[in-house]
Structure 1
Amino acid sequence: MPNTQTQSNVDHAIRPLTPSDLERVVEIDRDNTGHARRGFFENRLTASLNEPNAFISLAYIEHDRVEGFVLAHMLDGEFGGSRPATILDAIGIAQSARGHGGAHGLLRELQAKARRRDALEVRTQVVWSDQAMTHFFAGLGFRLGTRLVLERDCAMLPDETEAQAEPGEDLSRDRIAVRSMAVEDLHTVIGLDRRITGRDRSTYYQRKMGEALRKNGIRLSMLAEIDQTPAGFVMARVDYGEFGQTELEAVLDTIGVDAEFRTQGVGSFLLAQLLSHLASLRVDRVRTVVNWNDVTLIGFFDRLGFRPTQNVVLALDL
């Protein structure tokens, strides 16, 4: 692939990241954040090589040296999502190279690649009080997005499941069996989701299953059955480093319950099982992202104990 020049000077270029860039990327990020996130960057570079259509990883070069980077992934089919999007997970410019146009060059190339993959926007998350990062993204053209970040503690109170029940909900757990999801369950999950959402999100679930098999981060995907009939599912992961996170945090990617079983406590039981697993991994919090106006989904998560975080979603239209 030919280099994309960021300025007229031939010593400035954008190119794909390669495995040999790993140590320099970790160094830049450590200098900027004060934390080493080697595992995150190593996993992400490996994933980019294994599935290049699902990830975008770019390096900013000055005088044959990596002085900046951006990591992003493609997303289509997440909670309430109706448009393909590019999610910007990490961006960094070496302190000695700031003001040289590297960030704008990386973003221009990211936008170009995202458009070629039919994405309609680039999204990222920042802590609202991080004025340096919000100013940085504002300077790149980002605006406040239309999605909410929700989270909750992984610790559950003994009576919490009962408190989350819907009126008239049967909370007997004797009939609900929860097990780890296997690759053979892919078509079952896709079928369940199609009945729940009315959409075909096959590509999304195929990608999530592929990520689980590659073990990028810790995957926590479970299937609930009642009388051996699939009733619901949850897909989550533990990732270190996404959106600048410096502590282990779980991400709930998707959860669904078949309409036939919605009054039988499947959703709250799945969450209880997920939280139990996360607690055993010493993960303190789990988060998810929803559309601001999806009142049904927000209400569902509210009953499961989720609350708004201090993170805001920023978006850049393509």
Structure 2
Amino acid sequence: MTRQPNIRLLGAADLERMVDIDKAVTGRGRRGFYEKRFATSAGAPQDFIGLAAEQDGTVLGFVLAHLLTGEFGMTAPVGVLDAIGVDPAARSSGIGQRLLGGLEQALANRGVAAVRTEANWTEHSLVSFFAATGFHLAPRLLLDRSAGTPIEEEGEDGLLARDRVAIRSMTEDDLAALVRIDRHITGQDRSAYYARKANEMLKHSGVRVSLVAEVGGTPVGFVMARVDFGEFGRTEPVAVMDTIGVDPANRSRHVGQALLSQLLTNLRSLHVERIITDVAWNDFALLRFLERNGFTMAQRLSFVKPLDRA
């Protein structure tokens, strides 16, 4: 009987081996992504999971995941599988399935009911792996747009939306206002979520480009995004917009458009070429807003797998 590899927690000492496996699988090195992941997870270990498959002292594969607890309008914690790699020499030995099984158990132990992931629709082997291991298409749409294309927003007065509404960078002092605006939108108190996001914005690695819109000195809207690369096999930096909100009483002021317009301007200064987001298929108001502002369907598929927490 063939011995099965041991599934254990990843450690910083595994970095070089992870980079080697990833390069062998993708043909490209993503050292920066893995270095940032180790640095970020060290500061918030409760939000990350990393596992290695090891045999005779050699790592043959790995999996990385993180937890979302409110991003993209979600209301329940979800695990996100954002990197998995198996040494090509060890393929067809079930290592990928064992790593996934270990990840699912770790997520279930934390009370998470589902794991999500995504892939480019042309990544046939990866899509087949997800299908064979119990994933199915998630009821969500992945959208993106070029950051280099300005929003067509000029009004009759010749002013842009961001010229009519004051837009500034978000600070930790905005936390109470974010919670207030979100409560007006959702009817829920998500203080814990926004406290975590504020902490992430100020202390964790990755470039945050989060903005607040003000009218008369009072915050009336916000957008949260981050610039990074490496998740889901990406090799070029993109901006991920995970939270946007506008106080319902101020929607007629085009606050959302102003926030998005300024966000794109900031991204261009960072030489980021694309911005992506994730929307529930039936969030029609948000989908209409994004479509009016240049977002289209991304060439990626979203997958989900329910977990047994019994």
TM-score, length-normalised on structure 1? Answer: 0.91
Alpha-carbon distance between aligned partners in 2 of 1:129 and 1:279, rounded to the nearest angstrom:
28
Kindly indicate whether the alpha-carbon contact (under 8 Å) linking 2:119 and 2:300 is maintained by their aligned counterparts in 1. Answer: yes
Q: Does 1:26 align with 2:19?
A: yes
Structure 2 residue aligned with 1:162: 154
Structure 2 residue aligned with 1:212: 201
Alpha-carbon distance between aligned partners in 1 of 2:23 and 2:197, rounded to the nearest angstrom:
29
Q: Secondary structure at the match of 1:32?
A: helix
AA of the residue aligned to 1:117: R
Alpha-carbon distance between aligned partners in 2 of 1:99 and 1:85, rounded to the nearest angstrom:
29
Structure 2 residue aligned with 1:95: 88
Of residues 97, 104, 113, the one that matches 1:111 is 104
1:1-318 paired onto structure 2 within 5 Å: 9=3, 12-157=5-150, 160-162=152-154, 176-318=165-307
Alpha-carbon distance between aligned partners in 2 of 1:198 and 1:162, rounded to the nearest angstrom:
33
Alpha-carbon distance between aligned partners in 2 of 1:206 and 1:286, rounded to the nearest angstrom:
24
Kindly indicate whether the alpha-carbon contact (under 8 Å) linking 2:154 and 2:161 is maintained by their aligned counterparts in 1. Answer: no
Kindly indicate whether the alpha-carbon contact (under 8 Å) linking 1:171 and 1:264 is maintained by their aligned counterparts in 2. Answer: no
Kindly indicate whether the alpha-carbon contact (under 8 Å) linking 1:121 and 1:316 is maintained by their aligned counterparts in 2. Answer: yes
Alpha-carbon distance between aligned partners in 1 of 2:147 and 2:128, rounded to the nearest angstrom:
32
Q: Secondary structure at the match of 2:62?
A: strand
Residue 60 of structure 1: how far off its partner (Å): 0.9
TM-score, length-normalised on structure 2? Answer: 0.93
Residue 79 of structure 1: how far off its partner (Å): 2.4
AA of the residue aligned to 2:114: E
Q: Secondary structure at the match of 1:199?
A: coil
Kindly indicate whether the alpha-carbon contact (under 8 Å) linking 1:125 and 1:312 is maintained by their aligned counterparts in 2. Answer: yes
199-208 vs 306-315, greater mean Cα deviation = 199-208
Relative to 1, partners in 2 of residues 1:8 and 1:199: Cα closer, same or farther, differing over 3 Å?
A: farther
Alpha-carbon distance between aligned partners in 2 of 1:292 and 1:248, rounded to the nearest angstrom:
26
Per-residue CA deviations over 1:224-282 (Å, capped at 9, x if unaligned) read: 11110111001001111111001111100111110111000111111111000101111
Kindly indicate whether the alpha-carbon contact (under 8 Å) linking 2:15 and 2:34 is maintained by their aligned counterparts in 1. Answer: yes
Alpha-carbon distance between aligned partners in 2 of 1:41 and 1:173, rounded to the nearest angstrom:
36
Alpha-carbon distance between aligned partners in 1 of 2:21 and 2:129, rounded to the nearest angstrom:
17
AA of the residue aligned to 1:18: G
- The alignment-based identity, stated in percent, is 47
Alpha-carbon distance between aligned partners in 2 of 1:248 and 1:60, rounded to the nearest angstrom:
28
Alpha-carbon distance between aligned partners in 1 of 2:115 and 2:96, rounded to the nearest angstrom:
15
Q: Secondary structure at the match of 2:272?
A: coil
Q: Secondary structure at the match of 2:212?
A: strand
Kindly indicate whether the alpha-carbon contact (under 8 Å) linking 1:233 and 1:257 is maintained by their aligned counterparts in 2. Answer: yes
Which aligned runs of 4 or more in structure 1 are off by greater than 6 angstroms? Answer: none
Kindly indicate whether the alpha-carbon contact (under 8 Å) linking 1:176 and 1:227 is maintained by their aligned counterparts in 2. Answer: no
Alpha-carbon distance between aligned partners in 2 of 1:108 and 1:141, rounded to the nearest angstrom:
11
Per-residue CA deviations over 1:110-147 (Å, capped at 9, x if unaligned) read: 11111122211110011112111111211222111111
302-311 vs 191-200, greater mean Cα deviation = 191-200
Which ranges of structure 2 fall in alignment gaps of 5 or more residues? Answer: none
Per-residue CA deviations over 1:186-226 (Å, capped at 9, x if unaligned) read: 22212211111212222322222222223422110111111
Alpha-carbon distance between aligned partners in 2 of 1:222 and 1:77, rounded to the nearest angstrom:
18
Residue 172 of structure 1: how far off its partner (Å): 6.2
Relative to 1, partners in 2 of residues 1:235 and 1:173: Cα closer, same or farther, differing over 3 Å?
A: closer
Which ranges of structure 1 fall in alignment gaps of 5 or more residues? Answer: 1-6
